[in-house]
Structure 1
Amino acid sequence: METAEIRRRWLRYFEQHGHAVVPSAPLIYDDPNLLFVNAGMVPFKPYLLGQQTPPWQLATSVQKCVRTGDIEEVGKTSRHGTFFQMNGNFSFGDYFKQGAIELAWGLLTTHQSQGGYGLDPERIWPTVFRDDDEAHAIWRDVIGIPEERIVRRDENDNYWSMGVPGPGGPSSEIFYDRGPEYGTEGGPAVDEDRYMEIWNLVFMQDELSAVRSKSDFDVAGPLPAKNIDTGMGLERIASVLQGVDNLYEIDEVYPVLEKAAELTGKEYGAHSQHDAAHSHPDDVHLRVVADHVRSSLMLIGDGVTPGNEGRGYVLRRMLRRAVRAMRLLGYAEPALPQLLPVSMERMSQSYPELKTDFPRISQIAYAEETAFRRTLEAGTTILNSAVGRAKTEASGSAAGPALSGSQAFQLHDTYGFPIDLTLEMAAEQGVQVDEQGFRRLMQEQRDRAKADAKAKKSGHADTEVWKQLRERGATEFLAYDALDAEATVTGLVLDGAQVPELNPGQTGQLVLDRTTFYAESGGQIADDGVIVTPQGRLRVRDVQRPVKGLIVHTVEAVDGPVAVGDAVQAQVDPEWRVSACQAHSGTHVVHAALRQVLGPSALQSGSYNKPGYLRLDFAWNSALSPETRSEIEEVANLAVRQDLPVSAAFMTLPQAKEMGALALFGETYDEQVRVVEIGGPWSRELCGGTHVAHSSQVGALTLTGESSVGSGVRRLEAYVGMDALRFLASERALVSELSQLVKAQPGELKQRVSELLDRVKEAERAVSTLRQQQVLAQAGSLVEAAKDVYGVRFVGHDGGDLPADDARKLALDLRGRLGEQQPSVVAVAGGGARPVVVVATNALAREWGVKAGDLVKLAAGTLGGGGGGKPDLAQGGGSDPAKRPEALQQVEHAVGKTVTSGS
C-alpha cells in the first residue's frame, strides 16, 4: 500500500467517524519556541491546553513535521530522519479511552478491502501506564487482547506531559510484531526493533502542578475536560504495510536513494549486515541524500529559503550535506537536478502543490547547490592555506599542527565550509582541528540568535508571563476600522515580571483589553502613537504578539503613572498609519506587477514595509536587467493610476486557496483567513495587514534597488507616497549638480560623463606606463646587487606599494636579465597594505630543485596568507605588510636550504 493511500485511508476513516479533517499546518509555525512544527499536536496545542475553544470536538490531521536535533545522526542508522508525517486524531471533551482504543483497533485490523490497514490482530501488542487499570481492562475485555500481550510500563515510557505545569496523562502505545527475523521474542519490553511502535494514544486527564522530570511530577487533580491526542508515524506504518525494514525503503523515500545509487554506481545494502548500527559509509551517504533531499523539498515548499541563521541555516545545511554526500560517493556533477524531481514526483501524490510550485522550489535548490560548489572550491583553497600555516607554526614543536576552533568557525560562518569537511580534509594532511572550540562558538552564536529572537518577540519577558496574561482574555483587535479607542489596562510587565503600575521614565510592556495598534506581523512593522492615561501619556515604541491572541505594547511612560485597571485612550499616529498602509498596499502592487512581468514562479518569499518604504524578496535566480526593472515599475504605477478598489474579506483557508489567493511564505494561518484584493484577481493575497481603500492612495511608487539576498532569492526595494517623491526630488537635484559640474545639459549628461571616464582611463594608462618604466629602470641596479646563494644568483626586492601586476612584470624582467648561464631566483614583494610576493626561477634553478610554487607558499604563509603557482612563476599574498622583508628572507634561506640539501 503506497504511503499516499495510507494517508488517504487515515483521513477518510476518521472523517467517517465524525472528525473534522484539518489540513496540515506549514512546517513554519507561529511559535517562538519552535523552529519548525516537530509534532502532530503542535497546531492543536491552544485547544489541548485550554487556551482557546476548539472549533470542533473531534479532529484529524496528517501533519508535516521536521526534527533537526540529531541531524548529524541521519543516515548512520536506519531510524533517524528529519522530515516525517504524523497521523493524528483528537477529541476535545468527547470520547476518551475506550473510544480512542476502539477507533485505533478498528483502523488497524479492518481488512484492506474494507478501507482499513489489515494488520494481523495476533501481532499487535499494546502497552499501558503502570497504574492505568482502565486502559488495561479495555484492551483485555473490550478489544479481547490476551493479558500476556498487554504490557504495563512506567512514567518514562507511558506517561505524557509537556515538561511544564499543565495537562498530562497516561498513554497507551501500540506495537506491531514484525517477526523473528527482526529480533528476540518477548514483546516491546524485550526488543523494540522487532516490536515496532506504530501508534501512541495519549489520555489527557491530569492537571500537573509540577514537572521536575519525565518520571517525577505532581498531579494536582483531574482536568475539567478530558482530551485525546494520538499520533501515528506515517513513515513507520508505511514500512510495516510495505514490508520493508525502515523509513528509507518506503515508496516516498527509496526512489531518491535508488537514483543516487544509480548516479554514483553504488549498491545500497551490498556491504551492510542486519545490524543497522554497523552501516557501510556508502549506505550512510545514500541515506543522507534520500532524507535531506525530501526534507529540503518540503521546507522550500513551505517557504523556507537557504540562509545563515535559524530555519534558513537548517535548510542550507541539509542541502549542502546532500550535495557533499553525493561528492563523497564519487559524483562530482550537479546532483539536485537529478534527485529533486524524483522526490517531487513521489511527494506530490499527497501534496499536489509541490508540483505546481516546483519551478520556484527547484530554482532555489539548484541555486544553492551552485553556490555551494563554488564554496567548496574557494573554501578548499582557504583551508589549505590555513593548514599550511599550521604546519609551519608547529615545525620543531612537540605538539602537532592544529587548526583552532575559531579558524574552523570562520571557515564555516564566513565561507559556508562544513565542519565535517574541515575535519576530514585537515585529517588527510595530518592536522588536528579543535572541534570542541568550534562547537562552543557555534553554540554561542545560536544562543545569541535565540536570545535576540525571543527578546524581539516577547520584550525580554518569559513566555509564561504572556500565557498568564492571555488567560485573562484575548486582545480585541480594532486596527482595521479605527485609529482611536477607549480601552482598559489588563496587565503591565517590567523587566520580565508583572507589576501593578509603571512610573514616569520606565519602559515596559502594557496589555489592553482592546487596541487600535497594529502589531508587527506579515512584514509590516508596528504602529506608532501614544496611549493617554488618566495621569499622563505613554509613548508606544513597539507592538508584538508574543502568544496567540495577545497584543503587547512596549511603552515608555512619559509622565504620570499607569496602573492595571486604568481606563485609557489608544491613539495611533494617523500620518504613520497612512504611510504604513501605502507601503503595505504598495508591496502587494509590486508583487502583482512582478508576477505579471516575470511569470507566476516569481513568488514572494518575504517582505518588510514601514511608512514610505517597502522591500520584497522573491524566488528568482538571476539579476533583473534595467529594462525589466523599469517594466515592473511601470506596471505597478499603472495599477496605482487605475485607482483599483482594495477590499478585504474573511473566509476559510480552503475557500481562499480555491480563489487562488497567494499565501506569504513564512506565515502561518488560522482556519479563518483574511484575503486582500487589489483590482479583484489582479492581486489576491492572504494578509493581516492594514491597507489603503483604493490603489491610487499608494501615491507615487519608485523602485530604488534590486539585489541578491541568497541563493535563488532576489530583493526589490521601493519608496511610496511622499517618500517616493522626495527620493525623485533628490535624484533630480543630483542630476542638476552633476550637470553643472561637467558643464552639460541634463540630456547630455550621460555622454559627457562617458567622455570624462574615457579621458580618465587614458590618463591612468599613461600613469601606469610611466610607473612601469620607473620600475624597470631599477632592474639594472637590482641585477648588479644580486647575491650568490650557494651558487644560485638571488635577487630579493621589497617594492613597498608596488602594485601586484607591476611586481609580476618586474620579477619576469629581472629573471630575463639574469639569464640562463647559472641558476637564478627572483623574489619581488609589493602590494602595500595588501602584501603580495612573486617568485620567478630559471631552468637551471629548477634543475637544482628550486621551485617557485614552493617558495611562494612559504613567503605567503609568513605574510599571513597563501598562494601558489607553477615551478617557474608563482604568486601569493597575505595580510601583514610589515613582514614583507621577513618573507623575502625566508625565500632566500629556503633557496640555500634546497640547494645544499640536494648537493
Structure 2
Amino acid sequence: MDSADIRARWLKFFESNNSLKLPHTVVPSASLIADDPNLLLVNAGMVPFKPYFLGEVKPPYKRATSVQKCVRTLDIDEVGKTTRHASFFQMCGNFSFGDYFKEGAISLAWELLTKSTSDGGYGFSEDKLWVTVYQDDDEAAQIWEKQVGVPKDRIQRRGMADNFWSMGVPGPCGPCSEIYFDRGSAYGKEGGPIADEDRYLEIWNLVFMQNIRGEGGDKNSFPIVGELPAKNIDTGLGLERTAALLQGVENIYEIDTTRIILDKASELTKVVYGKNEKNDVSLRVVADHARTAMMLIGDGVTPGNEGRGYVLRRMMRRTIRNMRLLGSQDLVMSELVKSSIKAMGPQYPELVSDSERILAVAQSEEDSFIQTLKSGTSIFDLAADQLKKSKSTALSADTAFKLHDTYGFPFDLTLEMAREQGLGVDEVGFRKLMNEQRDRAKADSKAKKSGHTDLTEYRAIIDKSGATKFVGYENISAEAKLTGIIVDGKKAKEVNAGSEIEITLDRTPFYAEGGGQLADGGRIKLASGAIIQVEDVQTPVPGLIVHRGSVVSGVVKDGDQVVAEIDLERRLAISRAHTATHMVHKAFREVLGETATQAGSENAPGRFRFDFPSTAAVPISVLNDVESRVNELLIADLQVHAEVMSQDAAKAMGAMALFGEKYGDQVRVVSVGDWARELCGGTHVSRSGQLGLVKLLSESSIGAGVRRIEALVGHDAYQYLAREHVLLNSLTEIIKGVRTDELPQRISELIEKMKGMEKELSTVRSAKAMASAASLVKNAKAMSGINLIVEQLADEISVEDMRSIALDLRSKIKDGVVVLATVVSSKPLIVASVSPEAIKLGIKAGELIKTGSTILGGGGGGKDDFAQGGGTDSGSIVKAMAEITKVISGKIK
C-alpha cells in the first residue's frame, strides 16, 4: 500500500466510511509556515487546530480530520544517523471538539487499523497490536478490554512522561493511549512496549484532552488544576511509520516516498545503499533533506539567513555537502528535487504544477552555495594557519559563528575540516552564540505581534468579551465598547493622558497589519471626551485586534463607549498600494510565467514592494512591459470587488492563493475586473482608475533566487515623475543644444571623453614618475648588500603603472627591495617588489604590505615577490613607509 493510498484511506474513513456514522470535516493540510509567533514551522498535526483547543476561536465544526505536513528540526543532527529521525513527516489526525470522547476515539482507531484493505482499512492483524494507557486511566483500559476486545495482557499502563500529554505550558492537557505494532522476535525481546520500543513500534497516539495544566513541573510531574468544560480528542498517526509497516520495509527511509530520492542520490553518486554505514548515513540525510527542502519551497519558503529561510538553507546545504562526501562534484539539487516531486506529487498535486518555480529556487541556492564553499574554505584555511602559528588548538566560537552566519558555511563542515587538520572547535561557545541569535530573532518576532505582553492577558480579554469584529471593509468609523486596556504588558482599569496604551474593542474599523498590508492609523474618541491616537494595530492572538497608541487627552476607562475613526487618507493610500500589488503580481505572471508568484510584499501609503522567485535579474524591457500593462488597465477603470466563497469555488474561478498565508474554509476573493483574482483579506479601491498612476522604481536581489520590485502609486508616483522631469530639464539646460531624448547618448559621450582625459593624465603622471626612476636608482640605500628604495611618488598614479614602476626599479637595482606609495582619489596605495635574494633573508612583499596597510587603516597582501595594498588614511603614508623600512632593517641585521 503506497503512501498516497494510506493518506486517501485515512481521509475517506473519517469523512464517511466508519461504522460509527461520525462524519468528519476534511481539513486540507495547512502550510508548513506556522501561523503562530512561537513556531517557525508547523511541527505537529494539531498545530492548525491549536486556537480551538485553547478556546481562542470557536471551531467551525465538531469533528475534523486532516493529514498535516510537519517539519521538526530539533533533532536534525540525528537525521540519517538513525532510521527513526526525519525532518519532514505527515501526521494523520482526527479531532473532536466537545463531541465524541474516549469510546469514540478508541473504536474509530481500532476499526481503521484492523478493517480489511478491501473494505478501506489498513488490514493490521489484531493479535499484533498492543496498547498503552495512562497509569490511572481505568476508563480507557476498560474500553480497550471490554468493548474492543484487546486481551488484558496486551494493555500496559505507563506514567505521565509517556502517556500524559500537554503543550508544556499551562492549558489543556490529558491522558493518552498509544497503539503499538509487534514486529516480531527478530526485532527485540518480548514484553510489550514497556520492554522494547524497537520491536513494538508506536503507530498511533490518542490524546484525551480533559484536564487543565497549571504552572511548574516537568514532563514526569506537573500540576493538574481542573477539568476542561468541554472534552476534546486529538489523535496522531505517523503516515511514514505506518507505510513502513504496510510496505514490509525496515524503516521510513525505505518506503516509497523516501526510497525514490535515496535511489536517485545513489544513482548520481554511484554509491550503493546498504554496503557502508558511513555512506548510508549520507544517503539518508540527502533523501530526508531534499524532500523537506522541496516541501518548504513548495509552501513559499525561500533560502535565507534567518528563521524558516535559514532552516531551508541549512537543509539544502547539508544535502549538497553530503552529496559531495559521497563523491559527487556535479550540480545535484535539480535531480534530487525532481525525484522529491515525483515522490510527493501523488499526495500534493500542487507540487507538480509548481515544479518550475521550486526547481528554480533550488538551483539558484545550489549555485550560491558552491561559491560559499569556495570562499568559506579560503577563510577557514587562513584561520587554521593563524592558529597553528600561534600554537592554538581550537577554532574560536566567534570564527566558527562568522563562517556560519556571515558566509553560510555549514558548522558540521567546519568541524570536519578542523578535525582533518588536528584542530578542535569551541562548540559550546558556538551553540551559545547560535542560541542568542535565535532568541533575539524570536523575541523580535514576538514583540512585533505582542509588544512584549504576556499572551495570557490577550486571551483573558477574549475569554471575557469575545473576539473583535472587523467592520472596516464597509465603514471608516464605528461605535464600539472598550473591552480591554493594557499598559506595560499588564491589564489596567484606567489610564491618564500621556500614557502609551493598548486597547481592544468589541468591533473596529481599524485594519490590523497582515497579508503584507500595514495597519491603519487614526483616533479613538471616548464618550468621556478622552482621545487615543492609534499608531499601530496588531492581532497578537487569533480573533483579537489590538490598537496601540497614546492617550492624547482625558482619562481612558475600561468598559467605556467609544467612536473609532481611521485616518482616511492613510487608508486610501494603502488601499491603492495593495490593489497595485495585485495588478503588478498578475502582470509579472503574464510576462514571466506562473513561477513569478508573490513571495512577500509590503503595502504602505503610496508605495509598495513585491517579492517573487527568479534566478536572474528581470530585464528592463520586461519591467517596462509590466509597467505599461498595469497603467493601461488603470485607464480601463476596471471594477475592483470582493466576494466571500468556499476555497473550492475560489480555485474554480482561478483565484490565486499566496504561499504562507492561512485561509479558512470560507475565503475572500478580490478581483480586478476579470483579469486579476487573489485570495486576500486586505483593503482595496473600488475601481482601478483610482490608482491614478503606477511607477516601478527598482528591481533588485534580496537573496538567492528572490527578486524585489519597489514601486510608487497615485500621488506619490506623480510627485516622483514631476521631480524627474525637473531634473531632466536642468540637465538639458546644463548641456546646451541637446534634446531630452538625446541626453543619455550625450552624457555617455562626455563620460567616455572624461575617462579618456583621466587616462591620458595618468599616463603623463606615470611617464613623469618613470623618468624620475633613474634618480631613485642612484639614491637607493645599500644595506648589507641589499639595495633599498622606499619612496612616495606623485599622486594619482594608477595601480597598473605603480606595479610597472616597482618591477622596473627592482630589475635595475637587481638585489633589493622596492616599496612605493601614492594617493589615488584621496586614498593611499602602496606596492612592494622583492628580489629572490632579499626573500632568502626573510623579507617578503606580502608581510611588508600588511605592515603598511594596517597603519593606513586598510589591508592588502600578495606573494613573497610582489604585493599591494592600501587604506583610508593618506596622512599616515610617511609613518607607514618608516615602519616598513624598520621591518626590512630588522630582517637584514
TM-score by length of 2: 0.93
Comparing 94-103 with 352-361, which one deviates more in the overlay? 94-103
Offset at residue 583 of structure 1 (A) = 0.8
The residue correspondences of 1:863-878 to structure 2 (distance < 5 A) are 873=866
Q: Deviations over 1:407-437 (max 9, x none)?
A: 3323322222223333333444455443333
Quote the offset at 1:660 in angstroms: 2.0
Rounded to whole Å, the distance in 1 between the matches of 2:852 and 2:304 is 33
Q: What's 1:654 paired with?
A: 648
CA drift of 1:344 comes to 0.7
Taking the aligned partners of 1:137 and 1:295, their CA distance within structure 2 comes to 41
Give the aligned partner of residue 230 of structure 1.
235
1:318 and 2:323 correspond: no
Tell me which residue corresponds to 1:564.
558
**Quick one: which amino acid aligns to residue 201 of structure 1?**
L
Give the Å deviation of 1:204: 1.2
Structure 2 counterpart of 1:200: 205
- For 1:632 and 1:475, the matched residues in 2 are separated by 39
**SS class of match (1:188):** coil
Change (3 A) 1:541 1:242: same
> Partner amino acid for 2:436?
E
The CA distance in 1 between the partners of 2:108 and 2:144, in whole Å, is: 12
Amino acid at match of 2:398: S
1:66 aligned to 2:71? Answer: yes
Q: Alignment partner of 2:132: what SS?
A: strand
Matched, 1:537 2:526: no
CA distance in 2, matches of 1:164, 1:415: 37
Which residue number in structure 2 is paired with residue 11 of structure 1? 11
What whole-Å deviation, never above 9, does each CA across 1:376-411 have from its counterpart, x for those lacking one? 22222333333344444x1xxxx5165433333233
The one-letter code matched in structure 2 to 1:549 is: G
Determine which of 487, 490, 495 is the counterpart of 2:488.
495
Pairing partner for 1:54 from 45, 59, 63: 59
Give the secondary structure class of the aligned counterpart of 1:213.
Answer: coil
Report the 3-state secondary structure (helix = DSSP H, G, I; strand = E; otherwise coil) of the residue aligned with 2:256.
Answer: coil
Counterpart of 1:296?
293
Distance (Å, rounded) in 2 between the aligned partners of 1:788 and 1:651: 91
Secondary structure of 1:262's match?
helix
Find the partner of 1:469 among 461, 464, 479.
461
Whether 2:112 is the aligned partner of 1:107: answer yes
- Is the contact between residue 841 and residue 850 of structure 1 (CA under 8 Å) also seen in structure 2? no
In 1, Cα distance between the equivalents of 2:426 and 2:889?
A: 32
- TM-superposition CA deviations, 1:237-270 (whole Å, max 9, x none): 1111122222222211122222222222322231
Shift of 1:705: 0.9
How many correspondences in the alignment? 879
What is the distance in 2 between the residues matched to 1:774 and 1:83?
A: 69
Deviations 1:441-473 (A, max 9, x none): 222222222111111101221111111112220
**Deviation of the 1:130 alpha carbon:** 0.3
Cα deviation for residue 365 of structure 1 reads 1.2
Contact conserved, 1:648 with 1:674, CA < 8 A, in 2? yes
Deviations, residues 808-840 of structure 1 (Å, cap 9, x unaligned): 223322233235xxx555455667797776554
Question: Which stretches in structure 2 are left out of the alignment for 5+ residues?
Answer: none
Amino acid at match of 2:628: E
- Separation in 2, partners of 1:778, 1:127: 95
Q: Give yes or no for the alignment of 1:716 onto 2:709.
A: yes
Once the two structures are superposed, the pairs formed by residues 603-622 of structure 1 within 5 Å of their partners are 603-622=597-616
- 1:841 is displaced (CA, Å) by 5.2
C-alpha change, 1:165 and 1:738, in structure 2 (3 Å) is: same
CA distance in structure 2 between the aligned counterparts of 1:417 and 1:701, rounded to whole angstroms: 41
The residue type paired with residue 128 of structure 2 is R
1:78 aligned to 2:71?
no
Q: CA deviation at 1:635?
A: 0.3
- Give the counterpart letter for 1:497 in structure 2: K
| The 10-residue stretch of structure 1 (218-227 or 629-638) with the greater mean CA deviation from structure 2 | 218-227
- Find the aligned partners of 2:111 and 2:693 in 1 and give their Cα distance: 63
Instruction: State the match for 2:633 in structure 1.
Output: 639
* Secondary structure at the counterpart of residue 216 of structure 1: coil
Does the 8 A contact of 2:501 with 2:548 survive in 1?
Answer: yes
C-alpha deviation, 1:889, in angstroms: 5.5
- Residue 793 to residue 403, structure 1, CA distance change in 2 (3 Å): farther
The one-letter amino acid paired with 1:50 is G
- Quick check: 1:389–1:861 contact (8 Å CA) kept in 2? no
Counterpart selection for 1:412 from 385, 404, 408: 404
Q: 1:582 to 1:302 in 2, by over 3 A?
A: same
Rounded to whole Å, the distance in 2 between the matches of 1:755 and 1:861 is 37
Counterpart check, 1:816 vs 2:799: no
Matched position secondary structure for 2:37:
coil
- The amino acid of 1:582's aligned partner reads R
1:277 is matched with which residue? Answer: none
CA distance in 1, matches of 2:794, 2:493: 69
Q: How many angstroms does 1:73 deviate by?
A: 2.5
Seen in structure 2, the aligned counterparts of structure 1 residues 401 and 51 have a Cα distance that, compared at 3 Å, is closer
Q: Which amino acid aligns with 1:181?
A: A
Note closer, same or farther for the CA distance 1:538–1:119 as it changes in structure 2 (3 Å cut). Answer: same
1:900 paired residue number: none
- One-letter code aligned to 1:104: A
Asked if residue 730 in structure 1 is aligned to residue 719 in structure 2, the reply is: no
| 1:448 equivalent among 408, 431, 440 | 440
Shift in alpha-carbon separation, 1:649–1:436, aligned structure 2, 3 A: same
1:593–1:187: structure 2 CA closer, same or farther, 3 Å change rule? Answer: same
Shift of 1:859: 6.0
Question: Cα distance 1:885–1:383, how it changes in 2: closer, same or farther (>3 A)?
Answer: farther
**C-alpha displacement at 1:137, in angstroms?**
1.6
Q: CA deviation at 1:755?
A: 2.4
2:6 is matched by which residue type in structure 1? I
User: Are 1:856 and 1:876, in contact at CA under 8 Å, matched by a contact in 2?
Assistant: no
For 1:651 and 1:6, locate their aligned partners in 2 and report how far apart those are by CA, in whole Å: 30
2 CA distance for matches of 1:746 and 1:544?
A: 48
Q: Deviations over 1:272-309 (max 9, x none)?
A: 3xxxxxxx2x2222222111111111111111111121
After superposing the two structures, state which structure 1 stretch, 219-228 or 637-646, moved more.
219-228
* Counterpart pick for 1:348 among 345, 348, 371: 345
Q: For residue 361 of structure 2, what is the aligned residue in structure 1?
A: 364
* Contact kept? 1:62, 1:87, Cα under 8 Å: yes
Structure 1 alignment gaps of length 5 or more = 273-279, 898-903
Give me the CA root mean square deviation.
2.7
Matched residue type, 1:11? L
Matches for 1:420-439 after TM superposition, within 5 Å: 420-439=412-431
**What is the rounded CA distance, in whole Å, between the counterparts of 2:746 and 2:838 in structure 1?**
54
Work out whether residues 486 and 503 of structure 2, in 8 Å CA contact, stay in contact via their aligned partners in 1: yes
TM-superposed deviation, 1:597: 1.8
Matches within 5 A, 1:467-866: 467-471=459-463, 472-533=465-526, 534-680=528-674, 682-743=675-736, 744-786=738-780, 795=789, 804-819=799-814, 826=818, 828=820, 838-840=831-833
Give 3-state SS (helix, strand or coil) of 1:608's partner: strand
Q: Confirm or deny: 8 A CA contact 1:834 1:879 kept in the other structure.
A: yes
User: SS state of the match for residue 448, structure 2?
Assistant: helix
Q: In the superposition, relative to structure 1, how do residues 824 and 427 fare at CA in structure 2: closer, same or farther (>3 Å)?
A: farther
8 A Cα contact 1:836 1:860, kept in partner: no
Partner of 1:118: 123
Whether contact under 8 Å (1:862, 1:886) holds in the other structure is no
804-813 vs 174-183, which moves further: 804-813
Could you tell me whether the CA contact under 8 Å between 2:387 and 2:394 is conserved in 1?
yes
1:901 matched residue in structure 2: none
Paired residues of 2:261 and 2:343 also in contact (CA < 8 A): no
Equivalent position SS for 1:90: strand
Question: What CA deviation, in whole Å up to 9, does each residue of 1:848-893 have, x standing for no partner?
Answer: 6989787689769978988776676555678998685488469747
TM-score normalised by L of structure 1: 0.92
Q: What is the distance in 1 between the residues matched to 2:117 and 2:357?
A: 38
Cα shift at 1:795: 4.8
For residues 99-154 of structure 1, the C-alpha deviation after alignment (integer angstroms, 9 at most, x for no partner) is 21121111112222322212222221111000111111222222222222211000
